Amino acid sequence: MSRIVAVISEQIANPKRLAQKLLDKIKHHGSSKSRIYTSRGAVLGQNYFSSEKSVDFQDDKPAVVANANIFNEDSKGDSPQRIIQKLYQEKGHDVVNHLDGSFAFVVAQDKKVFAARDPIGLKPLYYIKTDDALILASEIKALVGLGEDIKTFPPGYYYSSDMGFVKYARPSHFNYSGSISEQEAAGNVRQRLINSVAMNCRNRKNPGIYLSGGIDSSVIAAAAKEVTEDISTFSVGVSKSTDLPKARVVARHLGSNHHEYVYTLDEMLKVLPQVIYHLESFDMYLVRSSIANYMLSRMAHEAGSDFVLCGEGGDELFGGYHYLKNMEPARVEAELEKLTCNGHANGFQRVDRMTSAFSIDGRMPFMNSNVTQFASRLPVKWKIYNDGSRQIEKWILRKAFERDLPEEIVWREKQKFFQGAGSAEMLSQYAEENISDEEFLRERRIREDFELRSKEELLYYRIFKDFFPQDSILDTIGRTATIG
């Protein structure tokens, strides 16, 4: 939830002033505190939100700025910065292999700099190299205007001033161990998700849950109810949304403090520039779903919630996309790994940006290592299950929580977030009515190797271009390659 920057240079005249300027660009609702550490060759900065612990910089210890959630068992109660600091002192570069959680951080000590990003890329980090500096930041907008070549700091890599970029990890390969039954697997999935929610709720009270009424968010809500009685749920959609009535069913069943908001096309168009500015993308499917996430985060913020759990990751781990049903098992395994690896520029990015826009700590319990590592070992036949009449996506996840949720929720067919919320057709129709065929043909190719896919995406790109004019930023944009 923090936002970090680093200016690595011995040549810039006033690196501290530059670092503060970068922090100001990524200071969102509620990020009331900031810290800057200056040493020879590096300036580190961090924006804190009100609920976070800050760490004093001490001359005799490595300075650390971090956007991280760390769950190491032997470090309960410590801040992420303190955990990273201690482990870096003990392990050096190998610190990255001793962290359980999501992270993007920079360490500076004795004119040496070390930076790293978690294997999946749940926490964002970008960088730009200029003639006299390496500059890193949690968001692209901080780097706009510093040069042309803004790049994504790749997940599963670290950077050191003496070695450059080094790949240290990748998400677990998908392979079935073959050693447990369906019933045991379902029980294991359930318990691991409950444990993951408990870890994420450590030292936090009254978690909020973004609830669509689909299986993923409903499972997270049910798991949260096992951890604490006091939960709040938040649901949004247009008046004809299919999500809203299903979310009410789950909320009543679990006895949550339920919040609901119905929005219109005019409201979507009004917030669209802010959604795209915070999201830092114009991908059509990602923007659509981010509008709903933005509305959720605004509602949660207004309700006083600064900590929420989201169902992102269930599709990637348990085979939730319809197009996977037509593939051979080996291809499904490869596709799920690809989806997980690319999630940092798609759904995971949406959760991070839309929650941070309102100073909310957004967590994704599906993506904790105890869940991802187990899910990766399950066979495709338990994820996409053929019951003789149809193929059921995320079957093992549904079985795991079939006693915790109403039947109509457990076996509800998957919908995209923007489909359930009801925004897709309205936005597409608006773009069709306001962008001519001639305009689309003239503007669709934005670079030799980059074409927009629809008038709706052109609508989003026009807004995006006002905020992010550099062509190199296109290389940071994740594209949703498939529908389903």
Which of 199-208, 212-221, 427-436, 460-469 is predicted least confidently?
A: 199-208
Which of 145-149, 320-324, 377-381, 420-424 is predicted least confidently?
A: 420-424
Do residues 284 and 245 both lie within one domain?
yes
Which of 58-62, 276-280, 302-306, 332-336 is predicted least confidently?
A: 58-62
Count of CA atoms in the C-beta half-sphere (13 A) of 398 = 22
| Tokens (6 digits) for 186 | 């379902």
In the chain, the number of structural domains is 2
Q: Is the pLDDT of residue 150 over 80?
A: yes
Distance, in Å, from the CA atom of 401 to the CA atom of 396, rounded to the nearest integer, reads: 9
CATH code at position 402: 3.40.50.620
Query: Structural domain of residue 403, as residue ranges?
Result: 182-476
Please report whether residue 434 resides in a domain.
yes
Mean pLDDT of the chain: 91
Using alpha carbons, select from 213, 398, 249, 432 the residue that is nearest to residue 318.
398
Give 483's pLDDT tier (boundaries 50, 70, 90): very low
Distance, in Å, from the CA atom of 268 to the CA atom of 418, rounded to the nearest integer, reads: 12
Distance, in Å, from the CA atom of 335 to the CA atom of 459, rounded to the nearest integer, reads: 30
Q: Which residues make Cβ contacts (< 8 Å) with residue 262, sequence separation at least 6? A: 236, 237, 238, 239, 241, 244
Please report whether residue 175 resides in a domain.
no
Do residues 213 and 146 both lie within one domain?
no
Count of CA atoms in the C-beta half-sphere (13 A) of 160 = 14
pLDDT tens per residue, range 113-149: 999 999 999 999 999 998 889 999 999 999 999 988 9
Do residues 68 and 207 both lie within one domain?
no
Do residues 320 and 352 both lie within one domain?
yes
Determine the average pLDDT of the residues in 45-61. 70
pLDDT tens per residue, range 92-106: 999 999 999 999 999
